[in-house]
């Protein structure tokens, strides 16, 4: 993927958001911009105002910016209009290959809540039967990686399918009306596809490969405000620990923030993993496998070394 192509992935209003003055003349952070999607720990963090409670006494404001998927968030972070956010495994690989100013700040193993759907009445019953089919997913997203690795498991290649690049809001209707024959997606859209759009799970991602989500930070923010970044990670991790033990309340929080019905968010919350921790060597190795696979397929223009952009708190 060429840099100009990566730039096109951005969502105009988010990626082009004006640079808010988030540091004063002495360099103290005055505002933190958080990128989030309609799922996961950051939604709960926002609903509980956990970051606001932590930073307001320090005179630091918190601004929340919503994205439909990870690629546009990475572009917003690259240009400096988002400081920190949560994405799946593929967006940071594409972003790093495009030279984006990002670092991996924390990791989160994914155990469930994403996979490939087909219509309930579809004749497709096995991965091998995806050959020649139109599969919808967001380019450069974790769903993209799941497609690639699912095909590999069945001995198929990327050339054996017709990829249809769609954002989640566009892919849902396309799946429902039969414009695509399969849909690779994550929760809560995964649950929406099952419960509202006549979907059937062909494969869960955890049956195919080990995957991770990540908390990504703008490189300059991490370099210049490491202590603040560590505090953001600590608040995120504490919220995640709470979420692991309060899934009913998590579902209510997700529904309240996103407007997605409670029954759908309950499905998503019950099967999600929330634990947030350091980017371990094992996580780096898994992520490097994603990057190497994408380069081999020609999906990114050059090889990348994931470990080169893993942030380590210098004060630790």
CA-closest candidate to residue 183, choices 92, 114, 267? 114
Between CA 105 and CA 17 the distance in angstroms is 23
Between CA 21 and CA 112 the distance in angstroms is 38
Residue 282 lies in a domain: yes
The answer to whether the beta carbons of residues 240 and 41 sit under 8 Å apart is yes
CA-closest candidate to residue 193, choices 267, 249, 139, 128? 267
Name the phi and psi angles at 132, rounded to 5.
80, 5
Could you tell me if 126 and 247 lie in one domain? no
The per-residue pLDDT for range 248-295, each reduced to its tens digit, is 999 998 898 888 999 999 999 999 889 999 999 999 999 999 999 999
Could you tell me if 105 and 222 lie in one domain? yes
Query: Strand 211-218 relative to strand 102-110: parallel, antiparallel, unpaired?
Result: antiparallel
Could you tell me if 50 and 190 lie in one domain? no
pLDDT of residue 19: 35
Residue 12 lies in a domain: no
Q: Between helices 226-245 and 247-258, what is the axis angle to 10°? A: 120
Residue 17 lies in a domain: no
CATH number of the domain bearing residue 166: 3.40.190.10
The pTM assigned to this predicted structure is 0.84
pLDDT of residue 234: 98
Could you tell me if 298 and 169 lie in one domain? no
Task: Report the 10 Å Cβ neighbour count for 169.
Answer: 11
Q: Could you give the percent of the chain with pLDDT greater than 70?
A: 91
Secondary-structure percent of the chain, ordered helix, strand, coil, rounded to 5? 45, 20, 35
Residue 260 lies in a domain: yes
Could you tell me the residue range of the domain that residue 230 belongs to?
Answer: 31-110+211-309
Mean per-residue pLDDT, 44-66: 96
Residue 130 lies in a domain: yes
Could you tell me if 72 and 127 lie in one domain? no
Residue 15 pLDDT greater than 60, yes or no: no
Please provide the DSSP assignment of 58-103 as one string: GT-EEEEEE-SSHHHHHHHHHTTS-SEEEE-SHHHHHHHHTT--EE
Could you tell me if 104 and 218 lie in one domain? yes
Between CA 111 and CA 142 the distance in angstroms is 13
pLDDT of residue 22: 55
Could you tell me if 93 and 218 lie in one domain? yes
Query: Which uninterrupted H or E stretch holds 144?
Result: helix 142-153
Between CA 165 and CA 49 the distance in angstroms is 34
Could you tell me if 197 and 137 lie in one domain? yes
Residue 314 lies in a domain: no
| Residue 111, burial from CB neighbour count under 10 angstroms (0-12, 13-18, 19+) | middle
- Indicate the residue among 161, 181, 207 that finishes a domain: 207
Reported confidence tier of residue 1, pLDDT bands at 50, 70, 90:
very low
The answer to whether the beta carbons of residues 270 and 280 sit under 8 Å apart is no
From residue 69, give the alpha-carbon distance in Å to each of 53, 110, 141, 233: 27, 16, 7, 21
What domain count does the chain have?
2
Could you tell me if 305 and 238 lie in one domain? yes
Name the phi and psi angles at 134, rounded to 5.
-90, 115
Could you tell me if 203 and 274 lie in one domain? no
Residue 16 lies in a domain: no
Reported confidence tier of residue 23, pLDDT bands at 50, 70, 90:
low
Could you tell me if 234 and 193 lie in one domain? no
Could you tell me if 224 and 151 lie in one domain? no
Residue 148 pLDDT greater than 80, yes or no: yes
Residue 18 lies in a domain: no
Between CA 2 and CA 150 the distance in angstroms is 25
The answer to whether the beta carbons of residues 288 and 279 sit under 8 Å apart is no
- Indicate the residue among 207, 222, 240 that finishes a domain: 207
Average per-residue pLDDT for the chain? 90
The answer to whether the beta carbons of residues 211 and 205 sit under 8 Å apart is yes
- Indicate the residue among 171, 192, 207 that finishes a domain: 207
């Amino acid at each position: 993927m060429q840099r100009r192509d990566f730039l096109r992935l951005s969502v105009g209003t988010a990626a082009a958001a004006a640079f808010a003055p988030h540091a004063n003349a002495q360099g103290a952070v005055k505002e933190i911009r958080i990128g989030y999607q309609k799922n996961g720990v950051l939604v709960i963090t926002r609903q509980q105002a956990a970051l606001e409670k932590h930073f307001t006494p320090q005179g630091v404001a918190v601004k929340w910016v919503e994205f439909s998927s990870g690629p546009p968030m990475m572009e917003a972070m690259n240009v400096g209009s988002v400081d920190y956010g949560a994405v799946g495994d593929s967006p940071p690989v594409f972003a790093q290959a495009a030279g984006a100013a990002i670092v991996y700040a924390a990791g989160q193993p994914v155990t469930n809540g994403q996979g490939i759907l087909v219509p309930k009445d579809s004749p497709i019953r096995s991965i091998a039967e995806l050959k020649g089919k139109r599969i919808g997913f967001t380019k450069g997203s974790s769903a993209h990686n799941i497609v690639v690795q699912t095909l590999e498991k069945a001995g198929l290649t990327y050339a054996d399918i017709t990829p249809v690049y769609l954002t989640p809001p566009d892919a849902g209707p396309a799946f429902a009306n039969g414009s695509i024959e399969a849909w690779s997606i994550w929760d809560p859209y995964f649950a929406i596809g099952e419960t509202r759009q006549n979907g059937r799970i062909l494969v869960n991602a955890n049956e195919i490969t080990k995957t991770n989500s990540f908390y990504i930070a703008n490189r300059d923010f991490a370099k210049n405000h490491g202590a603040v970044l560590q505090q953001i990670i600590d608040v995120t991790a504490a919220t995640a620990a709470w979420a692991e033990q309060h899934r009913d309340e998590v579902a209510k929080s997700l529904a309240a923030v996103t407007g997605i019905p409670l029954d759908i968010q309950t499905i998503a919350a019950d099967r999600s993993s929330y634990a947030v921790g350091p980017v371990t060597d094992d996580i780096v190795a898994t992520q490097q496998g994603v990057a190497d696979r994408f380069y081999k397929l020609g999906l990114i223009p050059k090889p990348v070394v994931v470990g080169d952009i893993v942030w380590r708190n210098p004060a630790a």
